[in-house]
Amino acid sequence: MTFTSLASSSHGNAYIVDDGQTRLLLECGLSFRRLKQLAGFGASGMDAVLVSHEHRDHSRCAAELVRAGLPVYMSEGTADALELDGAEIITDRGQFLVGTIDVVPFRTFHDAAEPLGFLLRSGVDGEVLVMATDTVSLAYRFPGVSVLALEANYDSAILSRCERMPDKVRRRITNSHMEIDTLCDYLRTLDLSNCREIWLLHLSDATSHELHFIHKVQRVVPPWCKVAACPKGG
């Protein structure tokens, strides 16, 4: 199973998961036109779309994807916040199948109506991928995971030096996004014996440092895990 980042930032998020038989789009926070350009194929090239929450950088072209006839999965809270008819409603730990990929949504913690992360298990190769972005923490463990794609939004030390940042923005960051040390502490609790890749998502423009984040994560995971930060793209 492969994970490909098309865009990963507060300006737009979109990722593709493909197991050779089923191709899923995770997040659609770009214009429909730009999404098709970056993906290299149109809506017919995807089997379904999973949307974590309603914020525009994750859901921008959800309505167009629904109109194009794609199954677009999201929580009821997300659909209501988007005022979107025609979405496929899913729930925390409500398992469902898309082609050869088994999907288990799970609760995340963000300033959104009903945000979700996703565990994906391929029936083709048996690999397990977990994606969670825009969350201050994670409540679940994922045994046997092959690929992790997790938020690493900011560094508290860098944030503390942003003296011109309004207090309201500072509070929102710390109350709704994952700090790099929080991610590292979480990774220490996981069984990563089968994990081959860790992707860092949604790095902040102002309060992150890509190489610093990669090195921090490399120090707490097994040496065979590839660690990379998703390019902003988009």
Is the distance from CB of 124 to CB of 97 less than 8 angstroms? no
pLDDT at 234 over 60: no
| pLDDT tens per residue, range 98-132 | 999 999 999 999 999 999 999 999 999 999 999 99
**Token reading at 201:** 């998502």
Residues 27, 13: contact at Cβ < 8 Å? yes
Please indicate, yes or no, whether the overall pTM of this predicted structure exceeds 0.85: yes
pLDDT surpasses 90 at 221: yes
**Ordered alpha helix ranges (H), the chain:** 32-39, 56-59, 62-67, 76-82, 156-160, 167-176, 180-188, 210-218
pLDDT of residue 164: 87
Q: Does pLDDT of 199 surpass 90?
A: yes
pLDDT score recorded for residue 233: 77
- In angstroms, the CA 65 to CA 206 distance is 31
Q: What pLDDT does 195 receive?
A: 98
Domains, in order of start, for the chain: 2-229 (3.60.15.10)
- Reported as a single tens digit per residue, the pLDDT across 53-95 is 999 999 999 999 999 999 999 999 999 999 999 999 999 999 9
